[in-house]
């Protein structure tokens, strides 16, 4: 693996988010009393996509909150 | 008060998550500082004692070799920490632990096993040759994991409409 690949943060973040979304989708499936094998690939893709969008949405919200608290609460003083 | 709570929560979270990397980085900077101090001391000594200055150039070479060496060691240790953390995350996250648990529960509560998962466990129970359940053999999320971009329900509907129009 070369340095360029190792420093590909965007890809790493995307992979991590995808893994988290899959984990959440598994939880949703389990809570519904079903298994992943009960769904076809398109349905699973929709589920994972929904979870991924939620993760990105909450990350944006948290980022704004952190920024606000950094500015408003003078964290580093 | 609130400010302190936020500050400490933030710091503790960062520390817990990146303890290895932070310690490595601190160690790296301390190492760099030590090397430069030792070298500076040597230069001062040569100057003060009016020693022969033939080794000054060599000392600079050693200093830079030490810098490069310590940087390589730092890079190796840092990537090792990152990889171990990543593999631990992956082992925790990619397994279908939840589903496994669920399948076990369902076989213990009812013997009706029409799903492939429960069928796998039922066959195991009956003493037939051990066969891994479907989700262990084929990860249903494998293709999704490798896709660069996922499609939403609307995208899939549009794709289906386009293919039916053609």
| CB-closest option in B3, B90, B153 to A46 | B153
Give the chain A residue whose CA is nearest to the CA of B86.
A16
Token code pair at residue A57: 């949405």
Which residues of B sit within 8 Å Cβ distance of A?
2-3, 6-7, 10, 79, 89-90, 93-94, 96, 98-99, 102-103, 115-117, 134-135, 140-141, 143-145, 147, 150-153, 156
Contact B133, B116 (CB under 8 A): yes
Interchain pair B93, A39: CB under 8 A: no
Residue B17 pLDDT: 81
- Helix, strand or coil, per DSSP, at residue B99: helix
Give the chain A residue whose CA is nearest to the CA of B3.
A73
| Residue among A65, A21, A60 nearest B9 (CA) | A65
Residue B38 pLDDT: 95
CB contacts < 8 A (A, B): 82
Contact B129, B135 (CB under 8 A): no
ipTM exceeding 0.90, yes/no: no
Q: What would the pLDDT profile of A1-56 be if each residue is shown by its tens digit?
A: 566 666 678 888 888 999 999 999 999 998 888 888 888 888 899 999 999 999 99
Token code pair at residue A53: 């969008």
User: How close, in Å, is residue A4 to chain B by CA atoms?
Assistant: 14
Residue B115 pLDDT: 40
Interchain pair B99, A29: CB under 8 A: yes
Residue A51 pLDDT: 92
Residue A55 pLDDT: 92
Which residues of A sit within 8 Å Cβ distance of B?
6, 16, 18-20, 22-23, 25-27, 29-30, 35-39, 41-42, 44-46, 48-50, 52-53, 69, 73-75
Q: pTM of whole model > 0.80?
A: no
Percent of chain A surpassing pLDDT 70 = 81
Token code pair at residue B19: 């303890």
């Amino acid at each position: 693996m070369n340095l360029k690949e190792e420093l590909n943060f965007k890809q790493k973040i995307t992979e991590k988010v995808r893994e988290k979304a899959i984990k959440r989708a598994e939880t949703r499936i389990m809570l519904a009393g079903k298994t992943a094998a009960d769904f076809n690939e398109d349905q699973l893709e929709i589920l994972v996509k929904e979870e991924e969008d939620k993760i990105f949405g909450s990350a944006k919200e948290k980022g704004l909150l952190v920024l606000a608290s950094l500015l408003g609460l003078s964290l580093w003083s | 008060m609130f400010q302190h709570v936020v500050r400490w929560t933030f710091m503790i979270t960062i520390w817990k998550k990146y303890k290895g990397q932070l310690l490595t980085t601190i160690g790296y900077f301390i190492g760099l500082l030590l090397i430069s101090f030792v070298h500076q001391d040597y230069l001062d000594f040569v100057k003060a004692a009016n020693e022969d200055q033939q080794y000054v150039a060599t000392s600079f070479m050693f200093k830079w070799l030490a810098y490069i060496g310590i940087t390589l060691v730092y890079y190796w240790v840092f990537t090792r920490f990152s990889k171990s953390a990543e593999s631990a995350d992956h082992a925790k996250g990619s397994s279908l632990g939840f589903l496994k648990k669920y399948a076990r529960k369902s076989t213990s509560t009812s013997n009706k096993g029409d799903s492939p998962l429960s069928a796998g466990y039922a066959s195991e129970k009956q003493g037939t040759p051990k066969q891994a359940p479907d989700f262990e053999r084929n990860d249903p999320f494998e293709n999704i994991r490798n896709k660069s971009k996922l499609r939403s329900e609307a995208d899939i509907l549009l794709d289906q409409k386009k293919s039916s129009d053609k």
